[in-house]
Amino acid sequence: MSAVAFATPHLAGPSCAPPPAAGERNLLDRLRAGDGEAFGELVREHGGRLLAVAQRFLRSSEDSADAVQEAFLAAFRSLGSFQGSSALSTWLHRILVNACLMKLRSRSRRRESPVEDLLPRFDAAGRHAGPVPRWMEDPQERLAAEEVRQTVRRAIQRLPDSLRVVLLLRDIEELDTGETARLLGISLANVKTRLHRARQALRALLEPAFACRQ
Q: Does 74 score more than 80 pLDDT?
A: yes
SS3 90: helix
Residue 131 has pLDDT above 50, yes or no: yes
**What dihedral angle (degrees, nearest 10) is formed by the CA atoms of 172, 174, 175, 181?**
40
CB 58 within 8 A of CB 103: yes
Q: 10: pLDDT confidence band, cut at 50, 70 and 90?
A: very low
Please count the CA atoms within 13 angstroms of the CA of 201 that sit on its side-chain side: 24
Fold observed for domain 15-106: Rna Polymerase Sigma Factor; Chain: A (1.10.1740)
What pTM was computed for the model? Answer: 0.68
Local structure of residue 116 (DSSP, 8 states): G
Confidence of residue 153 (pLDDT cuts 50, 70, 90): confident
Q: Domain 3-9+115-210, what fold?
A: Arc Repressor Mutant, subunit A (1.10.10)
Average the pLDDT over 15-25 and give the result: 61
